[in-house]
Structure formats: structure tokens, C-alpha cells
A and B are shown apart, each in its own frame.
Chain A
């Protein structure tokens, strides 16, 4: 990774966006240093896509200030566009054009020098050369994603904004994709990537969790888990569903999640939780062990917590 840059790549304060009276992004502040991979997580409709669109100049924030790559979000949308690679959530390249035609169109819109060479080079490095003359519409999910990434990095942007790039892509293609992301970050490119996959979140340097239009928590995976203040127990055994039913609704228990033959039970107040679990601890058919909460436990807890506070903000 290249040395830390004094000014952050993304530096925004109190960004808000409303659609017809409904606040979609509520006073979001975010600072992303250069060369970092930031994972953007949160339930559907939490405002991730809107935030990304505001960052690349596709949407004008209703309130708030900030810079992206040192350019003002409101005044310099054009300059931001030149240095940002934005990958939309839905595949948005021209399905009736081939891979090569799509890439060469993008190269020309960015007015790149020697566009044909650049297109050849990117196709080589992304292993798209064999399929150069295949129509984009006929590609499978993984290849579409590769084409989209190739088109996004073609103009050598300093910042990549990827909106759920791996949705609907098989595990192998996802792993390749993440290797590529890390390679790019290593070259000094900053990446903000939204995802629903926990193991992808764990591959990020930092994560930002949004729910109900607000930024809830950010930091490394460990920091985020720590901030949840959760205590988690794992139970193994039979009749787990009975146990789950009897614990449901208990105020001492924050989240309950079955994982195959195990059940994750988390709560924020250890003393209260122990009291609630005590009657079951002696059951011989169950094996109890204290574990660290997973990112998922933490997120589900955050979501429940803020859902209660946020009312019907969803």
C-alpha cells in the first residue's frame, strides 16, 4: 500500500437526501483515506446506493458539504466523474454491443489516449480477450461483472465506487473479484464497495454500517463487533428450535440465530442474560460455550436496535 495521503479521498459531512418528504440519507458523515477498501453494509433501502450516487455526482445532496478526491461535491461533479469508476448495482452496459465495443465506447467517452491499446490491455488483464466479440447481453453474471469492472477501471480512476458488485455471482468469480479489488487498492486506488455478504465485509480494511438512512457504526471488523457490546453463547444439541421458541421475546436476549446444529444467542447485558439462560444450562442434551459474536450477530443487533428507535423509517 502506498503511504498515507494527508487529505482523505472521501470527506463528506452531514450529507442528506430526501425524496418527496422521505429522508433517504440522513446527515451522513464519512472520511475514507487513500488506498483503503471500505465495505459499505446495511439492509436494503438503508441509503447505500443513494450515498454512492451522491459521491460520484449522479445525485445532488439536499444538505451537507464535502469533497471527493479534493473536488467539491456540488460544484465539480464533472471533474469527479473523470476520476471515479462507478459500477452500478444493476448491470448497465449495452447488452446489444460486444465486450470490445462496450469498452471502446467507454474509452472514447473518457477521451483516453490510444484507446484501442488501452482496451486491449484491460481485456488482457481481465481475461476478457477470448470473449471480446461476445454480446454483453449473452454473458453470464460473473462475466458481466468482469466487463463492468474492466470498464470502471479502464480510465485508471483514483476512486472506485462499487454498488453490490458481487450480487448473483458464484463464489469462485467473487473470490477472483476480491483479489482484483485488493490488487487495485495496493496500487493506491481507494475502493468503496457495498455488499450484503459478511465474508466480503471481512475482507475490507474498514466497514461502514448504514441502517434506516443513517450511518450506525464504522471501523474495522473487530471495532464494529466490539461496539455492539454483545455477549454471545453458542448452544449445540437437539431440540434447538424448542429452546429458541422459549427464549424468543425474552428482554435479556438481543438476537437468536440458528446455524445448522448450533444456535447463536446474544445479549447486551451479561448478568440478565445468564439469569435467562440458567434454566437451560444444566440440560444434558445441550452443550454451551461462550464465543465472540460474529459480524452478522452485530449487524442484526444494530438493525433491531435502530429499527426500534427509528420507528417506521424503513
Chain B
């Protein structure tokens, strides 16, 4: 076979890459450390449902109702009563300084108004500069107030119980009943980390050949673009699988993320996703003159993969134009696939709507990468 693709030559390139990788210990170390460090950082640090938020109290009427109510607040775990203030201004001051997230004001004659069925006004002021931080706590409030007060409306006060009280709103949080952010973040991290290392490593590996002049040597020898690409990609596929395994283990053991679906199916999706990123890295290297440029270009692709893929912000919450950009990123589909398989136990049929775009993406990026790999120095 003189003209076809030679697996023998792919093997030769592969062995060369492995040898070079083996001698590049810092890079190897970094690639193993990246998933671990990022998991620790993001897995533990990012929480979109913060609990025990500092709360100040302005109590202008001490009564059993007040006590019950406050106990109810504390039971939600969202509020941590850290301060009692004596007037409005003090409360606002704390909010402004950011020392507390909430100020709860129990108005004067609170108990009397309840008994008189005058529907007293309980004022909760929230620091809404970060809306997500306050949203869940606030939504938990409604239920508490009715529940807590019911408790006190017994005996002679039973008549005060709100009759057939409107509607009982129940929220079911599917797949993540406790609302753990890490259930969402850890699978998403798999997509982000693999995008990062995949694009960067191949982009660097090819520009390094050009920068050090070895590309001229490679081009002067009878090896075809696809062979170079396959041989260079293969080691990073292995590394990608190692990183995925580390993330999956940590997800299970450290973060208790459920793995409901098939790991085999995940592995199959993984290889398509890895090839997408590695081919993207190849494409990046074609546009970069040196390794610094390759890194900068890689980040140009990595940033949207973090911000617009649904990893950082809810995909449906983004404006349409941002969603369209997100829809062009392989990470978007892969993150959905991982979340689907791990948290929802999705099978092939269920991940298919996200799997085929990934597959198409892989074919297109590979074609572009090979087109851009120049066989001459022109």
C-alpha cells in the first residue's frame, strides 16, 4: 500500500508522540492535576443555592408569633440570624455594606394585628445584587410563614387559621431534589475540562513542530495529513479518557453524584467529543504562527465553551443569539449528554438529539483540520 493511509505510519507518529509526552513530565502532571483541582474548586466552591445567609432582625413586637416565625425562618437553613438591629437605618446600613443578605422587620403590633385578622405586613428586604443568591431563600418564605403560624393558631386562636387557604404550592425538584449545585456542576466540568485540555494540547503540539522547525522535516517525509492527525490525536484520546475517569470517580466518591445511566454509553459519547476538540485544536494550530498565538486562539474557543454551553449559566436563560452561539459548541451537547446519562439515566434514544449534532460536528471539524494541514510550506 504505497498510496493509501498507512496504519503503520500512524503507529510511528503515535509512538513518537507518546515518547515526547513521557519526557514532558510537567505537562503530563498538569493534565492530570487540571481535573482534580478544577473539581475541587468548582465542585465545592460554586453553589447557586447558598444556605445560611446572614440576616438581620428588626423586631418591633416581641410575641410568641414572632418567635415561632423566626424559628421557622431558621429551620429553612437559608437564614442565619446574625444581628438584631434597633431601627431601619441600621438595617439598611448593614445591607449596604453587604454584611447581611436580608433584613427582616417585624412591625409593631404584629401579634395584635394577627389576632385581629388585619394581615400585618412582614417586611423582608433582600440584597438582590446577586439575584440567584436570594431567589431560593425568598421562594422558600411563603410556605414557612403559613406553616409556622398554623402552629400557633390553636385553641382559642384556631378560628384565626386562614380557611381553605388559597393554594398549597408544592415544588418538585426533579433529578436533584435537594437542589445540590454540584450535581449540575460536576458533570458540566467534564465537558469544560476536556474542551480545555483537548483544544490546547493538540494546538500546542502542532505549533510546536512548526516553531521548532521539525514540521519542515515531517513534511519532507512521506507521511499524510490524516496519518499525522491520527497519530497525534491518539495519545490525547487516552489522556482525555484518564481525565474523564478521574472526574467520574470524584463525582461518585467525593460529591456523591448519582450515576444512573450507562458508563459504556458515556464512553462512546466521550470519544466523539474528544475527537471534536482535538480536531478543533488542529484547526487552531493552522491559524497560529507560534505557541503563544495558539494558546490565545484556544482560549477564544474555550471561553464560550465555559460561558455559553450551559455550564456556567442556564442555557434557556440566555438570549437567543447567545443560544445560537452555544449551539455551535460541542461542549453544549456533551454537557447535556453527561447530565442526561448521569442524573437522568438516559439511554441512547434519549441522548440522540444531542448525540447527532456532536457527530456531525466531529466530521466537519476533522474535514476542516485536514484541509488546513498544509502538505507544503507555501
B378 interfacial contact with A, CB 8 Å: yes
Q: Which residues of B contact A108 (CB under 8 A)?
A: 8-9, 11-12, 15
> Chain B nearest CB: distance from A95 CB in Å?
7
**B222 close to A (CB within 8 Å):** yes
Is A96 part of the contact surface with B, judged by Cβ < 8 Å?
Answer: yes
Is the beta-carbon distance between A105 and B222 smaller than 8 angstroms?
Answer: no
B211-230 interface code vs A (CB 8 A; 1 in, 0 out): 01110110111110000000
Q: Which of B18-26, B130-138, B140-148, B278-286 lines the interface with chain A?
A: B18-26
Quick one: CB contact mask for B198-221 with A, threshold 8 Å, 1 for yes?
Answer: 000000000000001110110111
Q: Which of the four size classes fits the interface of chain A?
A: 20 to 34
CA distance A84 to B222 in the complex (A): 10
Residues of chain B with a CB closer than 8 A to A81's CB:
220-222
Known contacts A81-B220, A81-B222; is-contact A90 B12 (Cβ 8 Å)? no
Asked whether A56 and B214 contact (CB < 8 A) given A97-B16, A105-B12, the answer is no
Q: With A58-B376, A60-B376, A97-B16 known to touch, is A88 a contact of B216 (CB < 8 Å)?
A: yes
Interface residues on B, range: 20 to 34
Within the complex, what minimum Cβ distance (angstroms) separates B2 from chain A? 8
Complex CA distance for A70 and B378, rounded to whole angstroms? 23
Whether B222 and A110, one on each chain, are in contact in the complex, defined by CB atoms closer than 8 angstroms, is yes
Q: Are A91 and B213 in contact (CB under 8 A)?
A: yes
A269 part of interface (Cβ distance < 8 Å): no
CA of A286 to CA of B73, assembled, Å: 112
For residues 1 through 17 of chain B, which have their beta carbon under 8 Å from a beta carbon of chain A? 3, 6, 8-9, 11-13, 15-16
Q: B11 to chain A: which residues have CB within 8 Å?
A: 108
Q: Number of A-B pairs whose CB atoms are under 8 Å?
A: 74
Q: Is the CB of B15 within 8 A of A96?
A: no
Do A109 and B219 touch (CB < 8 A)? no
Which A residues are in CB contact (< 8 Å) with B223?
109
Please give, as numbers and ranges, the residues of chain B lying within 8 Å of A94 by CB-CB distance.
Answer: 16, 20, 214
Query: Which of chain A's residues have a CB closer than 8 A to the CB of B15?
Result: 105, 108
Contact B221 A93 (CB under 8 A): no
Chain B, range 258-284, C-beta contacts under 8 Å to A: none
Residues of chain A contacted by B217 (CB below 8 angstroms) = 86, 88, 92-93
Query: How distant is B224 from chain A, measured CB to nearest CB, in Å?
Result: 9
Q: A86-B217, A97-B23 are in contact. List 11 more A-B contacts (CB 8 A).
A: A60-B378, A81-B222, A82-B222, A88-B216, A91-B213, A92-B217, A101-B16, A108-B11, A109-B222, A110-B221, A111-B6
Q: Which residues of B contact A (CB under 8 A)?
A: 3, 6, 8-9, 11-13, 15-16, 19-20, 23-24, 212-214, 216-217, 219-223, 375-378
Q: Which 10 A-B pairs have the closest CB atoms?
A: A108-B12, A92-B217, A92-B213, A86-B220, A90-B213, A96-B23, A109-B221, A81-B222, A105-B16, A109-B223
Residues in A lying within 8 Å of B, measured CB to CB? 53, 56-60, 77-78, 81-82, 84, 86, 88, 90-97, 101, 105-106, 108-111, 135
